[in-house]
């Protein structure tokens, strides 16, 4: 009985002390700082009601925002929250009204939608209702990290989704902010290096394939830096990439750093990094069994891959590298 009463009491209390969002807001005219502030208010309010840590709500939200950007069959969000419920899932598969906002009839038809702001409606176009509905699903499984992971798996039915969202949550928890826009060029600008666009070029070792990245040539031992905020998702040997590190950012993009001579001490799977963090050093490892070196000139292979839920594809990092290099040079002036 207490579990049924508790959310209602908290909701009624919070309605008077925190801002209320009656519908999905249009964010086009807001600055990034204003958007982050409004999102954080929503995460914190939902955390207070459900006890699901805000970092997991932010992580799932950013994961789905990345999916919306990558997929064509999910509409772009109109409000602050990107978590998506189809009309059928929200209102119930057998509900004759897929735009139903009556929480009672939605429940009768087995829909997911809940009233998160106490206005008597369960509206899938309302940021608070969507976030509360998602958090309540997680809360059914518990509030610690392992319980939340079980809830995430039950919701997404994919191990990779749970891994990515858990990584996002660790980044948000560590940095304690939503504003993770800073970027760095992968090498210190005062070192000697050169690069050009090589994405899509033919490669022959290990079979015919295309080059899925940009090669940045530099001397052995040149520091290699993280370009984004993110979490180290992979570290070790790859027969193509040699000693390599993979970092996932909160936009679901996987950043691939290959042909390293060695790793920086303290960089392990699960390490949270920020732009400029040294993760390793330029080498010529790869194209063979573990330890193979020297089959080509020393360089960093830098690749970017976008997760789209069921698949992940590479895209050209060259324009991003040029932009990050230019911005960093301007900061130093």
- Tell me the pLDDT tens digit for each residue of 63-121: 999 998 888 777 888 899 999 999 999 999 999 999 999 999 999 999 999 999 999 99
Alpha-carbon gap, residue 20 to 135, rounded angstroms: 17
Tokens (6 digits) for 146: 């392992």
Q: Does 25 share its domain with 134?
A: yes
Assess if residue 121 is contained within a domain: yes
Task: Check residues 18 and 80 and name the one with the higher pLDDT.
Answer: 80
Do both 108 and 244 map to the same domain? no
Reply yes or no on whether the pLDDT at 23 is more than 50.
Answer: no
Instruction: Indicate whether 17 pLDDT > 80.
Output: no
Position 333 pLDDT exceeds 80: no
Domain annotation covers residue 109: yes
Please state the rounded mean pLDDT for residues 123-146.
97
Q: Are residues 285 and 322 in the same domain?
A: yes
The answer on pLDDT for 305 being more than 80 is: yes
Q: Could you tell me if 84 and 148 lie in one domain? A: yes
Q: Using the predicted structure, report yes or no on whether residue 2 has a pLDDT greater than 70.
A: no
How much is the pLDDT for 8?
A: 41
Please give the pLDDT value at position 187: 97
Tell whether the model's pLDDT for residue 205 goes beyond 70: no
Whether residue 254 is predicted with pLDDT greater than 90 in this model: the reply is yes
- Name every residue whose Cβ is closer than 8 Å to that of residue 107 and which is 6 or more positions away in sequence: none
Confidence (pLDDT) at 27? 67
Same domain, 215 and 247: yes
- Alpha-carbon distance of 257 to 213, in angstroms, equals 10
The number of domains in the chain is: 2
Q: Are residues 199 and 171 in the same domain?
A: no
Query: Is the distance from CB of 121 to CB of 103 less than 8 angstroms?
Result: yes
127 and 245 fall within a common domain:
no
| Rounded Cα–Cα distance for residues 19 and 249 (Å) | 30
Of the listed ranges 123-132, 208-217, 271-280, the least confidently predicted one is 208-217
- Is position 309 within any domain? yes
Residue 112 belongs to a domain: yes
Q: Say which residues have a Cβ less than 8 Å from residue 331's Cβ, sequence separation at least 6.
A: none
Q: Write the CATH number for 290.
A: 2.70.70.10
* Contact between residue 165 and residue 152 where contact means Cβ atoms under 8 Å apart: yes
Domain that holds residue 11: 2-175
301 pLDDT higher than 70: yes
* Domain annotation covers residue 181: no
Classify 243 as helix, strand or coil. Answer: strand
Do 24 and 153 belong to one domain? Answer: yes
Q: How confident is the model at residue 20 (pLDDT cuts 50, 70, 90)?
A: very low
Strands (E), the chain: 193-195, 202-203, 209-210, 214-218, 223-225, 230-238, 242-248, 253-263, 272-273, 278-282, 299-307, 312-315
| Domain end position, chosen among 109, 140, 175 | 175
Q: Name the residue with higher pLDDT: 70 or 59.
A: 59
Residue 309 pLDDT class (50, 70, 90 cuts) = confident
Domain closes at, from 141, 175, 209: 175
Question: How far, in Å, are 24, 36, 71, 215 from residue 42 at the CA level?
Answer: 12, 10, 25, 42
For residue 130 the two structure tokens come to 């969507």
Mean pLDDT within 188-192: 97
The pLDDT confidence band at residue 26, using thresholds 50, 70 and 90, is low
Of 122, 146, 175, which residue is a domain's last? 175
How confident is residue 202, by pLDDT bands cut at 50, 70 and 90? low
Pick from 290, 294, 296: nearest CA to 239: 290
Task: Give the pLDDT mean for 124-148.
Answer: 97
Structural domain contains residue 184: no
> Is the pLDDT score of 1 beyond 70?
no
pTM of the model: 0.88
What mean pLDDT, rounded, does the chain reach? Answer: 89
Burial of 297 (0-12, 13-18, 19+ CB in 10 A): exposed
Residue 239 DSSP code: T
Cα torsion for 52, 57, 63, 64, to the nearest 10°? 110
pLDDT band at residue 4 under the 50/70/90 scheme: very low
């Amino acid at each position: 009985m207490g579990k049924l009463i508790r959310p209602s009491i908290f909701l009624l209390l919070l309605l008077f002390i925190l801002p209320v969002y009656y519908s999905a807001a249009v964010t086009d005219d807001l600055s990034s700082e204003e958007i982050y502030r409004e999102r954080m208010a929503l995460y914190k309010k939902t955390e207070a009601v459900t006890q699901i840590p805000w970092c997991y709500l932010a992580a799932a939200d950013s994961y789905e925002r990345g999916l919306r950007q990558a997929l064509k069959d999910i509409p772009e969000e109109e409000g602050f929250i990107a978590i998506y419920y189809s009309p059928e899932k929200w209102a119930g598969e057998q509900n004759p009204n897929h735009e139903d906002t009556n929480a009672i009839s939605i429940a009768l038809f087995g829909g997911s939608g809940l009233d998160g702001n106490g206005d008597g409606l369960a509206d899938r176009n309302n940021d608070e209702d969507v976030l509360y509905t998602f958090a309540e699903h997680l809360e059914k499984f518990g509030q610690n990290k392992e319980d939340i992971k079980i809830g995430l798996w039950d919701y997404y039915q994919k191990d990779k989704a749970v891994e990515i969202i858990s990584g996002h949550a660790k980044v948000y928890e560590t940095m304690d902010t939503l504003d993770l826009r800073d970027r760095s060029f992968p090498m210190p600008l005062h070192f000697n290096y050169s690069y050009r666009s090589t994405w899509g070029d033919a490669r022959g070792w290990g079979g015919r394939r295309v080059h899925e990245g940009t090669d940045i040539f530099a001397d052995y031992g040149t520091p290699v830096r993280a370009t984004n905020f993110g979490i180290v998702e992979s570290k070790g040997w790859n027969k193509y990439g040699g000693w390599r590190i993979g970092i996932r950012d909160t936009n679901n993009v996987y950043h691939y750093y290959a042909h390293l001579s060695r790793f920086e001490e303290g960089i392990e799977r699960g390490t949270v990094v920020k732009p400029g963090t040294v993760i390793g050093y330029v080498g010529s490892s790869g194209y063979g069994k573990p330890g193979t070196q020297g089959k080509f000139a020393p360089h960093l292979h830098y690749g970017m891959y976008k997760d789209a839920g069921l698949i992940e594809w590479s895209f050209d990092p060259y324009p991003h590298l040029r932009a990050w290099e230019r911005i960093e040079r301007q900061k130093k002036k």
